[in-house]
Structure 1
Amino acid sequence: QPITIGSYQPAELSHPPAPPEPLLTESEVCDFLRIRPRQLFAWRRDGLIPYIKIGKALRFRLSDIERAPEGMTIGGRG
């Protein structure tokens, strides 16, 4: 039974919440886009790829990386 505070009633969910979106590390993004870490740094600095800062760690939403413009995936690590 839900706890009520005064006349407050929690809202009923019409559908279950979506599962959390995968977050990638810098290394995983570089592997996914086949780019060097310094290229990812430049795109981050220039605001081309959104990121999340969790403490000192940077994370990237998979959906943001998948939507990267086609020209941004050209690269190589060799």
Structure 2
Amino acid sequence: MCLPNAQQPVESVMDAGVVSVSDDSAWTVEEAARFLGIAPKTLYRWASEGLVPSVKMGNLRRFSPRALAAWREGRTHGGR
């Protein structure tokens, strides 16, 4: 399983500008995948397997920026 670089900042640069994880908005799969540095297809799979926090709204998956940041921090391994 490929995990994002632990040295990445907690903010992610999106097409519309810098999006802080403190936003109360819900990210799309594409936005969340960009934040995590993985392919949207991988994120769909991880979410459906319950490996990453997500909310299903009808046919749509949405991701809390705060929950993803906490999840990513919990998954980081010691590095230099």
What TM-score do the two structures reach when normalised by structure 1? 0.55
Q: Extract unaligned runs of 5+ from structure 2.
A: 1-22
Distance 2:61 2:45 in 1: 14
Tell me how many residue pairs correspond in the alignment: 52
SS at match of 2:68: helix
The equivalent of 2:57 in structure 1 is 54
Shift in Å at residue 21 of structure 1? Answer: 1.9
Q: Larger Rg: 1 or 2?
A: 1
Moved runs in structure 1, 4+ residues, more than 4 A? none
The equivalent of 2:27 in structure 1 is 24
Q: Extract unaligned runs of 5+ from structure 1.
A: 1-19, 72-78
Distance 2:43 2:56 in 1: 15
Same amino acid, percent of matched pairs: 29
The equivalent of 1:66 in structure 2 is 69
Distance 2:35 2:66 in 1: 12
